[in-house]
A = this chain, B = another copy of it.
Amino acid sequence: MKPKIEDVAKLAGVSPTTVSRVLNNRGYISDKTRDKVQQAMNELNYFPNDVARTLFNKRSNLIGLILPTTANPFFGELTFHIENICASLGYKVLLCNSLNQVDKEEKYLEMLLRNQVDGIIVGTHNRGILDYHKQGLAVVAIDRYLSETIPVVSSDNYDGGKTATELLIHNQCQCIVLIDGIGELETPARLRRKAYMDLMEQHRQTPIIYEIAEVFEQNSYIPILNDLFTEHPEVDGVFATNDLFAAALWNEAKKRNKSIKVVGYDGTETLRTLLPELTTIKQPIKSLAEAAIDILIKEIEEELPDLPLETKLPIKLIKGTTA
């Protein structure tokens, strides 16, 4: 059996209260007692049981992370940074891949609640109207509006969409197509599309939009890209709202020997190692993670007064050779 505080107390010849005190460095303890206790802990290879602590303290130091899937490199990198920063602050991460499915997301939310997480970071993009604020839980969203009161962190999506579209226009493209995820209401990421629409109008070009479900499965994008090339053979510029779409489009264009300008979105390390030629809008992934955690911890610590409800971080154009 694992040793418990009582075992340590017995071995050290003190009371459990005293052991708890040295564990938490709380109250007065004589150096002699402290040493005795520490020795006993070492001898027994004692680790405190955080479950028991959580039960008493009503603080689990657990953060729930809900996102579509770590298989997508953007979320894989975001997850890495979030977990990494959390660990450095003494928080632990309970991971949930919801695949954007509302039913899964609901189950995960309940699971996190049962496990007494101190807060939740939500990075999914479905339309579920989940009541994330029930139980007065601390919540922060990445690129998604959950409710009036839940803070949102995102890259400057409008500026990203604008920069990408402007570059294509600057490249003299005459027929610029947007490839976007399937219609979501009121996602901040929708601003990428908004910027594209605005610029198309401004330059008197017709917006053409293709929507692809983000299923993260190989080749699942190809049928829609086929449609695109069939229906708009004149396409000479594409802004894709994520790099996987952009890469799929680029590879299909190469197959067809089509000369085309392409700009993606996300700019993950993975993309830049695998396909450095892709011109893309880089999100500040690490900063997004930092900002989200910063806000979440403020909520947990109940520093509600200075909670920024909307945080927008700057994007950066990464020039490859595709535009």
Contacts and interface: CB of A to CB of B under 8 A. Distances in A.
Contact of A95 (B95, B113, B244, B269): B95
Interface residues of A, number: 63
A304 interface: no
Interface stretch (A44-52, A148-156, A175-183): A44-52
B115 A92 contact: yes
Chain B CB within 10 Å, residue with most, of A2, A70, A116, A216: A70
Contacts of A108: 87
Contacts of A60: 51
A115 B73 contact: no
Interface stretch (A13-21, A76-84, A188-196, A200-208): A76-84
A184 interface: no
A34 B80 CA distance: 45
Contacts of A50: 114-116
A174 interface: no
A114 B273 contact: no
A253 interface: no
A32 interface: no
A26 interface: no
A95 B275 CA distance: 28
Contact of A73 (B110, B134, B221, B270): B270
A247 interface: yes
A138 interface: no
B269 A247 contact: no
17 contacts: A50-B115, A50-B116, A51-B51, A51-B60, A69-B80, A71-B268, A71-B270, A76-B76, A79-B95, A87-B96, A87-B104, A87-B107, A93-B94, A216-B269, A219-B272, A244-B273, A270-B274
Given A80-B97, A93-B94, A271-B274, 5 more contacts: A70-B70, A76-B79, A83-B96, A83-B97, A248-B273
Interface of A: 2, 45, 47-52, 54-55, 60, 65, 69-73, 75-77, 79-81, 83-84, 87, 92-97, 104, 107-108, 110-111, 113-116, 134-135, 216-219, 221, 243-244, 247-248, 251, 268-277
